[in-house]
Amino acid sequence: MKRIFSRRNLLKLGAGAVGTGIVTAGVGSELAFPRKAVAKDDISPEQALQELMEGNNRFVKRRRKSPNQTFTRLVEIAKGQKPFASILGCADSRVPSEIIFDQGFGDLFVCRVAGNIATPEETGSLEFGSLVLGSKVIMVLGHKRCGAVEATVKGAQVPGQIATLLAAIKPGIESVKNQPGDKLENACKANILSQIEKLKTSPLLSQLIADKKLILVGGYYDLDTGRVTMVS
């Protein structure tokens, strides 16, 4: 694969786009004028994943350290960010990433959408988080009793744009509909794996993975216990 994507090239693209007014002010300034933020800069992707899981373990055991949640930290990262991990999670209000992984300001780059689906917009955001901001791990985080997945399993007729969510989930859960066990749990986990495969079709993300600068994993959050378990 010809390596046409790099942080340097993207920064150049961002600078040019800012000059022509194409990129929005928020994204353009991050691309053209990146600033170093205090973060876990030197950890490996595997260490980043370990950091996430250790944080979840503290949460489950009610031993949260609540790191990087002070006003001092807020000021510290106001001019730049360097999150060590990205989360593609469900919009469900019961699954707040910074809390369940015991992290704080500037630690996580979080994208949330019902059903934790990898839409083009979510994928683009995660590309940005990894290539430009330096996130070392992307976790697709599904959860127990996901309403979007349940509606898809039941073939629910839904109004408006809600139907687009179900359409994005349906292909990924077809393979498990006749499997033994809890049908909804099977479907939720299958959806996580399906969205991971969608993200792998991104040339940017696949190159970072090949270069061992990024890992892409799946997590399943238990609403009853707070525990995140790996599914990939």
Q: What is the pLDDT of residues 134-161, one digit of tens each?
A: 999 999 999 999 999 999 999 999 999 9
pLDDT tens-digit series, residues 193-206: 999 999 999 999 99
Tokens representing 104 are 């704080």
Assess whether pLDDT exceeds 50 at residue 171: yes
What was the pLDDT predicted at 42?
A: 84
What is the DSSP-derived secondary structure letter of residue 81? -
What was the pLDDT predicted at 5?
A: 53
Do 112 and 16 fall into the same domain?
no
Do 69 and 100 fall into the same domain?
yes
Do 108 and 211 fall into the same domain?
yes
pLDDT tens-digit series, residues 4-48: 455 555 544 443 333 333 333 344 444 443 334 444 668 999 999
42 is in an annotated binding site: no
What was the pLDDT predicted at 116?
A: 98
Q: Which residue has the higher pLDDT, 29 or 118?
A: 118
Do 199 and 216 fall into the same domain?
yes
Query: Over the chain, what is the mean pLDDT?
Result: 88
CATH code of the domain in which 97 resides: 3.40.1050.10
Do 109 and 3 fall into the same domain?
no
Do 92 and 123 fall into the same domain?
yes
Do 216 and 142 fall into the same domain?
yes
Q: Which residue has the tokens 């260490």?
A: 47
Do 13 and 44 fall into the same domain?
no
Structural domain boundaries enclosing 200: 40-230
Local confidence band at 186 (pLDDT 50, 70, 90 cut-offs)? very high
What was the pLDDT predicted at 232?
A: 83
41 is in an annotated binding site: no
181 dihedral zone (left: phi>0; alpha: psi -120 to 50; beta): left
What was the pLDDT predicted at 16?
A: 36
Q: Mean of the pLDDT values across residues 167-187?
A: 96
Q: Mean of the pLDDT values across residues 85-113?
A: 98
- Beta strands 85-89 and 215-221 are unpaired
111 is in an annotated binding site: no
Question: Which residues does 99 contact at the CB level (< 8 Å), separation at least 6?
Answer: 59
Distances (CA, A) of 217 to 61, 149, 193, 204, 224: 23, 19, 9, 16, 22
Assess whether pLDDT exceeds 90 at residue 88: yes
Do 23 and 82 fall into the same domain?
no
* Percent residues over pLDDT 70 in the chain: 82
188 is in an annotated binding site: no
Do 99 and 180 fall into the same domain?
yes
Number of domains in the chain: 2
Do 117 and 7 fall into the same domain?
no
Do 98 and 155 fall into the same domain?
yes
